[in-house]
Chain A
Amino acid sequence: GIQVEQSPPDLILQEGANSTLRCNFSDSVNNLQWFHQNPWGQLINLFYIPSGTKQNGRLSATTVATERYSLLYISSSQTTDSGVYFCAVEETSGSRLTFGEGTQLTVNP
Chain B
Amino acid sequence: GAGVSQSPSNKVTEKGKDVELRCDPISGHTALYWYRQSLGQGLEFLIYFQGNSAPDKSGLPSDRFSAERTGGSVSTLTIQRTQQEDSAVYLCASSLVRTQPQHFGDGTRLSIL
CB distance from A76 to the nearest CB of B (A): 25
Q: Report how many A-B pairs have Cβ atoms within 8 Å.
A: 48
Chain A residues within 8 Å of B98, by CB: 95
**Do most interface residues of chain A lie in helix, strand or loop, or is the interface mixed?**
strand
Q: Given A41-B89, A43-B91, do A98 and B103 touch, yes or no (CB 8 Å)?
A: no
Q: Which residues of A contact B (CB under 8 A)?
A: 30-31, 33, 35, 41-45, 48, 86, 88, 90, 94-102
Contact A45 B103 (CB under 8 A): yes
CA distance A38 to B42 in the complex (A): 14
Contact B99 A96 (CB under 8 A): no
**Do most interface residues of chain B lie in helix, strand or loop, or is the interface mixed?**
strand
Q: Which residues of B contact A (CB under 8 A)?
A: 33, 41-45, 48, 50, 55-56, 58-59, 89, 91, 93, 98-104, 106-107
- Quick one: which of B42, B44, B59 contacts A102, CB cutoff 8 A? B42
Chain A residues within 8 Å of B42, by CB: 86, 99-102
- Quick one: which of A33, A48, A88, A95 contacts B56, CB cutoff 8 A? A95
